[in-house]
Structure 1
Amino acid sequence: MRIGFDISQTGKAKAGCGYFAASLIQKLVEESDNNHYLLYSAFGNTFWDSEHAKSTIRFSQKNCTHLLDNLSHHDSLAFWSVSTSIDEDKLGNPDIVHANNFSCPRLTSSRLVYTLYDLSFIDYPEYTSEENRWNCFNGVFDAAMQADLIIAISEYSRQRFLEIFPNFPIERTRVVYLGSRFTDTDSEKPIASLEPHNFWLSVGTLEPRKNLRRTLRAYKQYLDLHSDSKPLVLAGGQGWLEEDLEQFINHLELSKHIIRLGYVDDPTLKWLYKNCWAFIYPSIYEGFGLPVLEAISLGTAVLTSDTTSLPEVGGNAVLYVDPSSEADILAGFIKLDDDKFREILKTNSQTQASKFSWRKAAKEVMQAYTDVLNMPPR
């Protein structure tokens, strides 16, 4: 097979979509060298990385060809935004194009496989920007009309998609779970100012969907009730609609208890997961919940939400709370003070994490590629 693959978000400061694409293509190339991979560093008309030619994931294997590296932003928009079908010669005439960044190109000969992450922009429009909501909705709507096959990253996302687009053929959908990118042999980078096992950890892009403000209010109540000096560490890049977060922290008089690290590299993140007291992730809405899987794969005690896709990931290895309830999040903080309970979670975590892997995901995606080529085009 000639497989065209969107790597556009695998560059600098990547988040969920970028980690999915990078981890999946690495394992696909590693596991199936009888295919040829056409890798697009510029993809679609909504996302742009000005350094895409060098920042996106790179392969030197003979069965990998990097394409579109020379496109400027103007040229990329002109190429991907045509009202007729894309020039597939410039894509290397693939059998399949796998779209990974919400954009959905119009193809003629190639089959289109589309990664569906979540539908939070429909279910919680107030938690994103107008521009992002527009881009995401247009991409998913076009996929509902044009995609030959949808790969959802959770059963929750697949079912939600089929509820919103009930005429999409269910047989053209698949669920492929993500894996953790961390292994025991990966390097770690300690943070000298943090005492191991003496800090709470929150990881994620700073945006309202992550429920950070309710978490901070619950943490404030926890500090008021307990003489606990463990700080809450926030690791994650700036998103949208949280520009005044610092003022919010100051208003709660939490400044001396909050450590903001911003975006951190993988060795630092691995050390944070392994050395935190517990990982706090009561997100309002997730398509999968990769930070939860990453945390449990490293034996971390986790608090997360009992909603959307998160129970699919956490199984019986995490502490669930109602993300809409400060009282429930507060109760979670208190429960995680119990060493015995926390150790039970840590023991269960790696058993649950072993159910997920990028090797398994790559095998299932490759089967999806085979299936879609055996289906009539839509």
Structure 2
Amino acid sequence: MFGPSVNYIVASKWHRFWRPWKFDVWHCMYQGSRFYPLRPTKFVYTILDLNYLSLADYSVKRKARQKARYQARIDQATIITTISKYVAKDVRQQLDVPVNTPMQVVYCGVDIPGNLPMTPPERKPEGPFLFFIGMLQSYKNVHTMLPLLVANPDYWLVLAGPDKPEYSQQIWEQARQLGVADRLLMPGPIDEPTKWWYYAHCEAFLFPSLLEGFGIPVIEAMSFGKPVFSSALTSLPEVGGTEAFYFPAFDAESVVETFKEGMKRYKNDPAMPERLRLQSQKFTWQIAAAEYWQLYQNLLHS
């Protein structure tokens, strides 16, 4: 990635237990990584989220082991960074952060290429459609969006991303009960050109997730000037700002009414697409990289 001007170390499994390297700064960019410094050094520990500790999929004992691993790294860290204010708050609530260990929020970024390669999917929706992308598991909460198809008979719903089979079966069963299964597409994982096509052609983007450390898809959708209908929970209001529409609850009436009023505002406000694009530009990898570079410099000179 950085060309021939730097040296690379290819880490293997045995490096989890023996790391002879000496560095001025070590940045662990994922809270669950097994690669961290064994000798004293300036150690930046980035926590993306603590969702693992909240999911019902894992036993109490398994969560306790993982929590102990997080705590060990926190005790070792020179500074902790998180990808949202919500995650920073969650870390302080669930783990013990030493009084003298600073925490800093560095938001994730999204850099949309100028000339996007777009590939239409093999099976396209046969009408205007709403779009979601992400891991399809219960906390993503996408089953609550199905009443929108009942209230809008012309719309299709595309739910893209790898799925948990038990949750996708629940979605299909609910869609059949509501009589909207013929307008539901679940293509599974999709490549980047197909993803960009869906963003470019959807009527709106839906992101009703109950648990997010950041929410990159919200930024991607906004970069296309698309209206975003989001959960108001966890980190999502930090990302969507005042330009996203937020569901106050997830019963069918609230979902349908929020969508109806939001689309009405969007269509009657010709300046809104540009404001959405401007909101997305607050989160770029260039900004994130500059903040981390400054952090490294501060550590080296502290």
CA RMSD in angstroms comes to 2.8
Q: Which stretch of structure 1 is more off in the superposition, 191-200 or 178-187?
A: 191-200
Name the SS of the counterpart of 1:292 in structure 2. Answer: helix
Q: Does 1:290 pair with 2:227?
A: no
Q: Which stretch of structure 1 is more off in the superposition, 95-104 or 207-216?
A: 95-104
Q: 2:3 aligns with which of 60, 63, 73?
A: 60
Show the counterpart of 2:128: 198
Deviation at 1:214, TM superposition (A): 2.1
Q: 2:28 aligns with which of 88, 92, 99?
A: 99
Q: 1:170 & 1:214 partners in 2: Cα distance?
A: 43
Deviation at 1:265, TM superposition (A): 1.3
Q: 2:100 & 2:273 partners in 1: Cα distance?
A: 37
Aligned positions of 1:20-59 closer than 5 A: 59=2
Q: 2:250 & 2:3 partners in 1: Cα distance?
A: 47
Q: Does 1:242 pair with 2:164?
A: no
- Which amino acid is the alignment partner of residue 63 of structure 1? V
Q: Does 1:353 pair with 2:284?
A: no
Given that 1:197 and 1:276 are in contact with CA atoms closer than 8 Å, whether structure 2 keeps it comes out as no
Q: 2:125 & 2:63 partners in 1: Cα distance?
A: 40
Q: 1:106 & 1:252 partners in 2: Cα distance?
A: 54
Show the counterpart of 2:70: 140
- Once the two structures are superposed, residues 7-35 of structure 1 have per-residue CA deviations (whole angstroms, 9 ceiling, x without a partner) of xxxxxxxxxxxxxxxxxxxxxxxxxxxxx
Q: 1:329 & 1:67 partners in 2: Cα distance?
A: 49
Deviation at 1:240, TM superposition (A): 7.5
Given that 1:236 and 1:261 are in contact with CA atoms closer than 8 Å, whether structure 2 keeps it comes out as yes
TM-score between the two structures when normalised by the length of structure 2: 0.86
Name the SS of the counterpart of 1:351 in structure 2. Answer: helix
Q: 1:343 & 1:141 partners in 2: Cα distance?
A: 49
Given that 2:75 and 2:97 are in contact with CA atoms closer than 8 Å, whether structure 1 keeps it comes out as no
- Once the two structures are superposed, residues 146-171 of structure 1 have per-residue CA deviations (whole angstroms, 9 ceiling, x without a partner) of 22221100111112212333543365
Q: 1:326 & 1:374 partners in 2: Cα distance?
A: 56
- Which amino acid is the alignment partner of residue 275 of structure 2? N
Q: 1:135 & 1:117 partners in 2: Cα distance?
A: 18
Show the counterpart of 1:119: 50
Q: 1:170 & 1:318 partners in 2: Cα distance?
A: 37
Deviation at 1:352, TM superposition (A): 0.9
Name the SS of the counterpart of 1:61 in structure 2. Answer: helix
Q: 2:64 & 2:208 partners in 1: Cα distance?
A: 26
- Which amino acid is the alignment partner of residue 119 of structure 1? L
Given that 2:29 and 2:46 are in contact with CA atoms closer than 8 Å, whether structure 1 keeps it comes out as yes
Show the counterpart of 1:22: none
Given that 2:126 and 2:156 are in contact with CA atoms closer than 8 Å, whether structure 1 keeps it comes out as no
Q: Which stretch of structure 1 is more off in the superposition, 138-147 or 191-200?
A: 191-200
Q: 1:348 & 1:167 partners in 2: Cα distance?
A: 38
TM-score between the two structures when normalised by the length of structure 1: 0.70
Q: Does 1:189 pair with 2:119?
A: yes
Unaligned residue ranges in structure 2 (runs of 5+): none
Deviation at 1:291, TM superposition (A): 0.7
Q: Does 1:331 pair with 2:257?
A: yes
- The alpha-carbon distance between structure 1 residues 158 and 250, as it changes in their structure 2 partners (threshold 3 A), is same
- Once the two structures are superposed, residues 289-348 of structure 1 have per-residue CA deviations (whole angstroms, 9 ceiling, x without a partner) of 111011111211110011211111111211111354443222223234436257554232
- Which amino acid is the alignment partner of residue 201 of structure 1? F
- The alpha-carbon distance between structure 1 residues 285 and 190, as it changes in their structure 2 partners (threshold 3 A), is same
Given that 1:95 and 1:111 are in contact with CA atoms closer than 8 Å, whether structure 2 keeps it comes out as yes
Q: 1:316 aligns with which of 242, 251, 254?
A: 242
Q: 2:193 & 2:62 partners in 1: Cα distance?
A: 30
Deviation at 1:235, TM superposition (A): 0.9
Deviation at 1:353, TM superposition (A): 1.2
